[in-house]
Structure 1
C-alpha cells in the first residue's frame, strides 16, 4: 500500500526527500489552492521552516510523491515537531481540473519573528527550480529574508547541502542571489 504526499518546502527536492523515504516515487507537481506559503513554522533549531497558511484565493505549488505506507512513521518523525499530518489534503495535480487526495503537514507552532536558515531556503528554491515552477514563485522565494546558520556542523544542514550537491548545485548560496 502507498500514500501520496504533497511537499511544498525542502522536501520538494527529490534527493532530500528520497533520503528520508527511500520508497518515494515522484508523481508530479500540484497546487494547494486557498493557501499561502510562509516560513514562520517554529523549528527546534530556532529557525523558520515552510508552512502553509489558509488564504482564500492564494495558491502554493508543490510536488506529489508516492510513498510506501510503511514509511509514513519515518516521515512523521522528520516532520513531527510543530507540524500535524493532514491525511485528506486535496491538491490540484498537473492535469488541469484534476485533484488528488494527499498527505501533507500543517504547522501547529508559529512565530512571525523566525526566519529560515540560508541553506534551508536554498533547498526550497532548489526544489522549485528542479520542478520548473513558475518564475514568480522562485522570485518570491528569493525575496524571503533569511539568516545565516553559524553552526557549520549541523546534521540537517549537511544533509540539505548533500542533497543539493546530488542535483548539481555546488554552492547553495548562489540560489539565494537576487535577481538570478
Structure 2
C-alpha cells in the first residue's frame, strides 16, 4: 500500500461496487478481495439519517462471530467524501481494524456505529445494496442467506428509493 492510498473494509451497502464507486463517494476504489473479521456480528441497528437501520459491525468478542465484507484500496483524496457519506462523527466513527484475507491479515479503515436503535429496520433498497455487494464479493452462501433473512421495510419516499436503485440500471 502506498502512502497515497488506504485500505477500507466495507461490510454493508458499500460492498456494492456501483454504490462505492459513485462519483460522490470513492471513484478511485479498487476491490482487493473478500475479507472477514472475527469477534464481531453484522446487525442493522445504526440510526440512519433517513430514520432507517443501517449496517453495523458490532463487537461481541466471540471468536465464532464473523463479519464478512470487501476490502478496497482507495486514494486518500477520496477519504473526505467517504467520511461524509458514512456520517463520520454523526452515527459512525472511523476505526482501524485487523481483517483476515486469503493472503493474510491486513489493517483497514472501517466505520462502526455510535448511534444505535435495535427497533429500527433497514429499507429494502438498502438491503438490495448490501446483498448486491455480498454476492459480487462472493461471500459465503450461508452468510448471504442470513442477510436475506433480515426484516426490511419499504421506504415511503419513493423518489429516494428510485434514486438509490438507479445505479443498477446505468450502463
- CA distance in 2 between counterparts of 1:120 and 1:18 reads 16
1:147 lines up with 2:150 in the alignment: no
CA apart distance, 1:13: 0.7
1:84 lines up with 2:93 in the alignment: yes
User: Please, what TM-score do these two structures have when normalized by structure 2?
Assistant: 0.90
Aligned residues: 162
The structure 1 segments of at least 4 consecutive aligned residues displaced by more than 6 Å after TM superposition are: none
Aligned twin of 1:17: 20
Aligned twin of 2:7: 4
CA apart distance, 1:166: 4.9
- Secondary structure at the aligned position of 1:114 is classed as coil
- Secondary structure at the aligned position of 2:133 is classed as helix
CA apart distance, 1:159: 4.5
- Cα deviation code 1:25-51 (max 9, x no counterpart): 111110011100000001111100000
- CA distance in 1 between counterparts of 2:77 and 2:124 reads 32
- CA distance in 2 between counterparts of 1:106 and 1:51 reads 6
Aligned Cα root-mean-square deviation (Å): 1.3
In the alignment, is the contact (CA less than 8 A) between 1:13 and 1:124 conserved in 2? yes
1:70 lines up with 2:70 in the alignment: no
